[in-house]
Amino acid sequence: MTKKVPLRSEIDPKYKWNAESVFASPEAWDAEVQAILAAVPEAKKFQGKLTEAAVLVEAFKTVEDLTARAMRVFVYANFSSAVDTTDQQAAAMVGKAQGMFGQVAAAAAFMEPELIALGEETLRQWVADEPRLAIYGHYVDDLFRQQAHVRSAEVEEVLGMLTDAGRGPYTTATMLTNADFKFPAARDEQGNEVEITQGSLGGILAGADRAARKTAWETYMDQHLAFKNTLASNLATAVKMDVFRSRVRRHGSALEASLFGSNIPVEVYHNLLEVFKKNFPVWQRYFAIRRKALGVDKLYPYDMWAPLTKSEVGISYEDAVELICAGLAPMGEEYVATVRRGCLEERWVDVYPNQGKREGAFSSGAPGTYPFIMMSFNDNVFSLSTLAHELGHSLHSHLTRKHQPLVYARYSLFAAEVASNFHQAMVRDYLLKNKTEADFQIAVIEEAMANFYRYFFIMPTLARFELEAHTRVEKGQPLTADSMIALTSDLFSEAYGDQVEVDRERVGITFATFQHMFMNFYVYAYSTGISGANALSRRILDGKPGAVEDYLEFLKAGSSLYALEALKRAGVDLTTPAPVEAAFAVMESYVDRLEKLLA
């Protein structure tokens, strides 16, 4: 009997995101798109006229208002498509929003080159003399830090116009894997069919039925392998675009260009990879413990999320919200009330799997919207953890937008993954202290290790892949499907050691199953994020005076400070390997605890 994933229309509205809080209808959304396009000339009229402080004030206001409106339009379209990629109206809305956003970006592209042409001394004087420009002090600092990499107005306009086209490879891969892929059913140990979708795969892999896990994983990877050339070509094109942009902006490498925007030294990236490689033995010890606990002769990638006890811990969405709130209690009543209200009253979360729902989970919003969450809740500890993770992003966004003007209302990807993993660390600590049943303890540690496996094993492995792929393009070497599969397989094999059986083709196509790979050196930030998160949560859990206030100031800072500086003020220095090494020590303590519980 096939286990069916419900249609979107079959999901209870209370578990769907609050779309109507953004736009009353798609027609209202379309009217705003037309209004934004009509307002684009209002931004361009300032081109060549930034000659005095008062004019600059008006230019900033016009461009920022237009950008905020465009962001709301894009969030509505993108979220509508993500929760149901088969919705053709929503897909068309995404394309329309991308085109509109490209026009807005192009219209505003003149500003930075003109501001640089005015000179640092003049701008600083305007900031000092004009109260309405006072908030732009850090912006001016950052602008002239980046001066060598900002090109002429004409070049910047072209780069702005490339925004829409540059997303093409990502959009194609997303539509192919989420809308067009139809996975053959898996089969459980009784021979029953188990339906596979992007939203249901995680639940299957976290299940006790090994036959279902095996056939689901193989089917999922085989579907990607069947389109390996298209998927590889898409990613190769995105890598080439990264290299192209880095060269246009005169950076030494695509890695340097990507980190430069957030003022992150490349040593942070390399430190992470070196510490990761040094800790292969810790991972291999965990794999050996997992293989023994599962009672299997050989451990495969599809065994990494399998439960280690026969007693499954079930958790409803509502109970998960309450456990998360309990874990976050040290953050204060206001913080916890915001979380609870967002989850249970304001419908921040699109909760359950449905046919056509995009794989994975994410938090997304804009000024004037809730910080929405898309996920596929599967009534277990893993889903509880995913919800906590995405709520970390959402509270970060909520507090940043509440306390910062638009110019600083976004934060870097580097900072983003600290907030999300912080929530998981806090909730995990609460559960281990308060849920003392052995099976629950094991389930929590399993979730912790699954989280570390994703962010401290898969992501740094993909970060190694990403660095090598960009380096090959920079050297003029080709990226083919077979070479990318071989590279991915080699990197995973090295890290697994002799503890995990590697099916080279299926493991090798892993790069195509993560849409994060289109985000230009993003995946490493999960690993640095989990390192910073554990350090900051430890300060709070140890009762360090001012630790909660320090952390809240980090969340409120947005991009008014560079991420590394904001984190240093909060209490962690990620320019050194120490936080990464400390996070591996935390992980090793979970391995020790798990070994004792299983014994």
Joined tokens for residue 71: 């962001």
Would 185 be classed as within a structural domain?
A: no
Domain match, 142 and 243 both = no
> Residue 501 belongs to what domain range?
192-308+388-599
Q: Which residue, chain included where needed, has tokens 């109260």?
A: 131
pLDDT of residue 358: 86
Q: Which residues contact 31 (CB under 8 A, 6 or more apart)?
A: none
Would 124 be classed as within a structural domain?
A: yes
The least confident of 73-77, 145-149, 363-367 is: 145-149
The predicted model gives 216-243 an average pLDDT of 95
Joined tokens for residue 119: 């000179």
Domain match, 291 and 440 both = yes
User: Which residue among the candidates 114, 390, 417, 474 is catalytic per the annotation?
Assistant: 390
- Domain stop point among 126, 149, 166: 166
Q: Which residues contact 344 (CB under 8 A, 6 or more apart)?
A: 318, 321
Domain match, 134 and 199 both = no
Q: Which residue, chain included where needed, has tokens 């957030």?
A: 262
DSSP letters for 366-433: -TTS--EEE----SSHHHHHHHHHHHHHHHHHHHHHHHS-GGGS---HHHHHHHHHHHHHHHHHHHHH
Domain match, 86 and 35 both = yes
Domain match, 421 and 556 both = yes
Q: Which residue, chain included where needed, has tokens 């001394």?
A: 121
User: Is 390 a known active-site residue?
Assistant: yes
Q: List the CATH number of the domain containing 548.
A: 1.10.1370.20
Question: What is d(CA 559, CA 572) in angstroms, rounded to the nearest whole number?
Answer: 17
pLDDT of residue 3: 61
239-284, pLDDT tens digit by residue? 999 999 999 999 999 999 999 988 999 999 999 999 999 999 999 9
Percent of the chain with pLDDT strictly greater than 90: 81
Would 180 be classed as within a structural domain?
A: no
Domain match, 238 and 137 both = no
322-352, pLDDT tens digit by residue? 999 999 999 999 999 999 999 999 999 999 9
Q: List the CATH number of the domain containing 77.
A: 1.20.140.70
Would 346 be classed as within a structural domain?
A: no
Would 176 be classed as within a structural domain?
A: no
What stretches of 454-518 show up as alpha helix (H) in DSSP? 459-474, 481-496, 504-508
Neighbours of 206 (CB within 10 A): 21
Neighbours of 229 (CB within 10 A): 12
pTM value is 0.83
4-58, pLDDT tens digit by residue? 889 999 999 999 999 999 999 999 999 999 999 999 999 999 999 999 999 999 9
Number of domains observed in the structure of the chain? 2
Q: Which residues contact 276 (CB under 8 A, 6 or more apart)?
A: 456, 460, 527, 580
Domain match, 137 and 262 both = no
Would 537 be classed as within a structural domain?
A: yes
The CA distances from residue 254 to 46, 298, 407, 495, in Å, are 32, 39, 25, 25
pLDDT at 599 over 90: no
Would 171 be classed as within a structural domain?
A: no
- Residue 171's SS3 state is helix
The predicted model gives 583-591 an average pLDDT of 94
Q: Which residue, chain included where needed, has tokens 């942009």?
A: 245
Name beta bridge partners: 350.
Answer: 374
Domain match, 454 and 505 both = yes
The predicted model gives 202-213 an average pLDDT of 90
| Mean pLDDT, the chain, integer | 93
pLDDT confidence band for 1 (50 / 70 / 90):
very low
Neighbours of 404 (CB within 10 A): 19
The CA distances from residue 581 to 275, 276, 371, in Å, are 7, 9, 32
406-417, pLDDT tens digit by residue? 999 999 888 998
Domain match, 159 and 208 both = no
Domain match, 162 and 197 both = no
Domain match, 423 and 547 both = yes
The predicted model gives 218-226 an average pLDDT of 96
Domain match, 467 and 506 both = yes
pLDDT of residue 268: 95
Between 313 and 283, name the one with better pLDDT.
283
Angle between helices 381-403 and 333-344 (to 10 degrees): 110
The CA distances from residue 482 to 169, 227, 232, in Å, are 19, 12, 9
Would 376 be classed as within a structural domain?
A: no
The predicted model gives 106-113 an average pLDDT of 90
H/E element holding 349?
strand 349-350
Q: Which residue, chain included where needed, has tokens 């990226």?
A: 479
